Structure 1
Amino acid sequence: MINESALLESKSLRGSVLERTDVLDRVKALSLLPDGMHVTTAMVATYFGVTIEVIRQLTKRHREELDVNGMTVLRGADLQKFESDNVSLSLGSYPQARRSLTIYSRRAVLNIAMLLRDSEVARQVRRYLLDMEHLARTQPVENPTATDTGSLDDRIDQRLTHILGKTVVPMFNALIETSGEHRRELIELRQDIENVERKLCWHHSRLRTLEGEAPTDAVRAQLKAMTWQAFERHVADLLQRDGCTDVVVRQARTDRGIDITGHTADGRTLAVQCKNRAGRSSVPSADMQKFAGAARAVGRADVALFVATCNFSSEAQAIADLSGVITVNRDELEEWSAGVRLKALR
């Protein structure tokens, strides 16, 4: 894999990845001027955590390259119009008139990230760029046959779930929390992504059915054959598939009602109780009371999840609703195991 310092030295290598401006927001939110396209020198310095003078010296050394990639110096009438439309709205009025103003496109900011040595944010951008480039170059291209369509589809589903859980969903969650003006659009876009995910899972199930296997029956049989230890590991695998991190299976009788701990993809603490009770019709209220108390008083979890291979009694469900415990019954568990992302983890 190419070392990230190569981007500092090779102009041609920098040029090959300049279209990946989305990387900037994946590393750190880039604030733009009201035109939604440009930033000032001060805003570039803030993004990279360096002084304005550092950015000015860098632009002097690489003026020609940055000019090609979207750095512009405004003067005269162009400057007056741009300031009246953008800068004065976002930065306030200036005590004296400017002679010139340097602005940068997102492409120019990415170019600076590949030239700036003494910035941790710039280093993260370079590493992210090279990771994406390495993945694009090394990802194998296969021509599936009728016999391996199922396994290829599984790999696609797993890859998609990993990408959604690790990058896309956390990014939209963070943006929704900090955005005011575009909150509604971001929520709708996140819902669109979730709809695509559900459709992919549906198509996967259809493929399995056409190949002679009923997914629900297969999942149900698999769950029924699990020991309680295997079931806890299975739930932990599902959590990791959906982007959870630091997932730990306790598998001890002294767990105080918490079988699995971890963090959701957006950083919330997670406590999980697993009940493999194929021979029981429902989870009783006593089990729910024990877990609700442990999750809130002992574990202090942000998300308390009770997963069972059966249904919940009406009393147990009422306690869950009152205490904020999220229940996953048999039908929901089968859908989750078949590939549908659990709503509570989005």
Structure 2
Amino acid sequence: MSCDVTAPPWPHGPTTNRGADVINELVLLESKSLRDSVLEQTDVLDRVKALSLLPDGMHVTTAMVAAYFEVGLEAIKSLVKDHRSELEANGYHSLTGEQLRSFKNLSGIQSRTRSLALFSRRAVLNVAMLLRDSDVARQVRVYLLDVEHASRPKPVENSVHSTTLSLDDRIDQRITHVLGKTVVPMFNVLIETSGAHQRELIALRSGVQRIEKRLRQHHARLQRLEAPREDRPLAGVMASMDAMNGREFEEHIATLLRRDGCTNVVVQGGGRDRGVDITALTAHGRRLVVQCKRFAPHTSITSPELQKFVGAAKVLHDSEVALFVATCPFTRDALNIAAETGITAVHRGLLEEWSAGAALAVLG
């Protein structure tokens, strides 16, 4: 059963907190209007986990979607069956006949199947908002809420918010204390001294104990949800980089290099960069060159781009350490070339971790 929410899709007010985000996430599963309102945020997929694309750089197969969400193939097929029209509106389609043969020729896919289901990045995000039994899908939904929350205007003074949360927390704990220390013992006494209504009193006591248990569970759950997530980089890191222009992105990478002990950091820029954007020395004095590419998250760094950088880094600059930093994934061929030539490929996920404070091992 699904419901459609006609109210504004996201709550705005002093009571919004992580507990409210959990409620929003559940509504996101049920409300098509909410799903439609965030379908442009496809870069969220790469924040949670790198999404591998077919050679056309635009689509994934059903098996690839299942692998991304770490569920069985049948789970995705069943979801498509239940929500086919919505998914088709967001880029899902199935190829057969001449269309399939043409796609195979263009993309280089080797397959003997008579039909091939393809998902666009938008359709994959749509799946994330419909798939219940997947931790990866839930992380995508939580990230969507994080991005939306980070984009809201921040109030100058948030003391009312903090006071409200603190008051709510104290009220919950007080109710739990009263139930456990006063009401339940009172029922115990009444049960011992009452004969005619003992059964009813026992049933009432059981109900109160269930309420007390649920309040304790609710309090513990809120504490877990509001605690910092060490397994996930800081929200908003990649959003800020996506908003930069090319020069700002290069300066950002230069700042990270200086933070990690590099010296003589120079942002080249212009048409005289000789194939690299930044030159520097590592903390141990090794010659370092960096190529910076601020591309859209749904694109990929390809092997020709890697090969061009290899020539500039190794031949023109005689570098000892070479970084290719990008705000998007790398194709498999590009990663293979990087591994074979000693280039460090800093893809979107690794870049987010580096920007959030993690050190690059190659700079140590």
TM range, normalised to the smaller chain?
A: 0.3 to 0.5
